[in-house]
Structure 1
Amino acid sequence: MAMTEPTIVPESSAVSVSVSGAVVGGLRDVPTTTLADLLGRARVMDVVVRPLWQPVPRVAGPAFTVRCPPGDNLMLHAAVHRAAPGAVIVVESGDLDFALAGGNVCAVAQRRGVAAIVADGLIRDLAEVREAGFPVFARGVIPIPGAKSAVTPLNRRVRCAGAEVDAGDVVVADEEGVVVVPAARAEETLTAARARLAQEAAQSLDDWEKAHRNRIDALLHAGGHEES
């Protein structure tokens, strides 16, 4: 019996907000710590997803979202050929037994201009990926690849390492972690981040220390703490 090739489900075109390149570029200059302070815990991926090599550059790009069931990597491999230059491919998986991608897949993604892969799962061929300088944020590495049979829609909402990601959201990742900036809030988040960074740059360590000490002492006093 002849085998038939699986049909790739087209990615959704229903991205409600398009973030400009200028805003994406601006967010690339903002540390994830600042974005996390502004957006809160729900927009920060769990610590299990980390950069797989160091020092990793900070990356930012609109999310191209993928869902891969455990043991299967077909849709990530499909996404590599469909994601636009500058995109960050974000993969919902959670698989700890099989690799989602390897050196050649990452090399093709890099050649096509993909900014990074962020995967709630594993990859392989880490030495090749590190040598190429392609940013990958994932749970870790394992040498055995997954299968290619499960077809799921591309560019639908996914949950990656505890954070919900819609296609087109801006994903910012660096050595501190991965933050998801909702597309509808990207511009206002950038404005707030720039204001906060400017305020921090204008404050000396002495001024910060004084304000910090006063705040901590006030909290201790409010909580009934008495110096021994």
Structure 2
Amino acid sequence: MPDPARGYSSATLVEAAKAAIDIDPAIRATWQGARLIGPAFPVQGAGGDNLALHLAVAAAPRGSVLVVDAGGAAYGHWGEVLTVAAQQRGIAGLLIDGGIRDTSEIQQLGFPVFARSAAIRGTRKDFPGVLGRAVTVGGVVVSEGDLIVGDDDGAVALPTATVPAVLDAADARVAQEQEYFARLRAGERTLDLYGFGAPYRGDRG
């Protein structure tokens, strides 16, 4: 697992992967600056029921990101109580295709949550769900152990087998971008960097 301090952005990983690893952009960080990184612990839940989330908090390994299919339902599947419980268990964050509530309290606690909506409607506690089996969240299939990375721009899920190669490609991309920044500050144009053809390279504009 990569060191979170290396700071891979979701956009860099999408470009490096050259694959559809980006989760539906409607599933977003619930507070600005939230940073999500860790191995996925998939949870198949049900819209309007959060028993599976309580069970997942008790069962997930430390450092895991809970990745929950709640059918996109606009209910408060997760809130302050589950957040405190998850932090005590060492869980790294939550990504849920569904609603959550207590967003201000979650931000104050500094717990990264990515969700489709904020919703105050209460939930049942009847369906135990399925833990640890692959789920589809935001159009991406996520299996246990896949690398989840999220930031202000969105979230991605990297299949475990691809992680080393994608991170190497991400390192190369970051190095190239640093070179581009230096050249731009030295007076070059984006037209020069990307080698656009002669019709676009006049001095106007």
- 1:51 counterpart (18, 25, 29): 29
The separation in 2 between residues aligned to 1:191 and 1:213, in whole angstroms, is 22
What amino acid is the match of 1:149? D
TM-score using structure 1 length: 0.79
Pair 1:209-2:190 in alignment: yes
User: Paired residue for 2:13?
Assistant: 35
The separation in 1 between residues aligned to 2:96 and 2:5, in whole angstroms, is 20
User: Paired residue for 2:157?
Assistant: 180
The separation in 2 between residues aligned to 1:101 and 1:145, in whole angstroms, is 10
**Identity over the aligned pairs, expressed in percent?**
36
Check 1:102–1:28 CA distance in 2 against 1; reply closer, same or farther (3 A cut).
farther
User: Paired residue for 2:2?
Assistant: 24
The alignment of Structure 1 onto Structure 2 pairs a total of residues equal to 198
The separation in 1 between residues aligned to 2:193 and 2:71, in whole angstroms, is 40
The separation in 2 between residues aligned to 1:111 and 1:94, in whole angstroms, is 27
| Structure 1 residues 90-169: aligned runs within 5 Å | 90-169=67-146
Check 1:198–1:213 CA distance in 2 against 1; reply closer, same or farther (3 A cut).
closer
Pair 1:84-2:61 in alignment: yes
Q: Deviations over 1:141-195 (max 9, x none)?
A: 1112211111332111101111110110000000010011110011111111111
| Offset at residue 112 of structure 1 (A) | 1.6
The separation in 2 between residues aligned to 1:28 and 1:118, in whole angstroms, is 21
Check 1:200–1:154 CA distance in 2 against 1; reply closer, same or farther (3 A cut).
same
TM-score using structure 2 length: 0.87
The separation in 2 between residues aligned to 1:171 and 1:27, in whole angstroms, is 15
Does the CA-based 8 Å contact 1:173-1:179 persist in structure 2? yes
The separation in 2 between residues aligned to 1:210 and 1:137, in whole angstroms, is 36
The separation in 1 between residues aligned to 2:198 and 2:136, in whole angstroms, is 39
Check 1:124–1:197 CA distance in 2 against 1; reply closer, same or farther (3 A cut).
same
Check 1:87–1:208 CA distance in 2 against 1; reply closer, same or farther (3 A cut).
farther
| Offset at residue 198 of structure 1 (A) | 1.1
Consecutive aligned runs of 4 or more in structure 1 exceeding 4 Å deviation: none
User: Paired residue for 1:225?
Assistant: none
| Offset at residue 67 of structure 1 (A) | 0.8
User: Paired residue for 1:4?
Assistant: none
Does the CA-based 8 Å contact 1:101-1:145 persist in structure 2? no
Check 1:93–1:185 CA distance in 2 against 1; reply closer, same or farther (3 A cut).
same
| Structure 1 residues 58-73: aligned runs within 5 Å | 58-73=35-50
Does the CA-based 8 Å contact 1:25-1:60 persist in structure 2? no
Where in structure 2 are there 5+ consecutive unaligned residues? 201-205
Does the CA-based 8 Å contact 1:71-1:95 persist in structure 2? no
Check 1:210–1:108 CA distance in 2 against 1; reply closer, same or farther (3 A cut).
same
The separation in 2 between residues aligned to 1:219 and 1:66, in whole angstroms, is 53
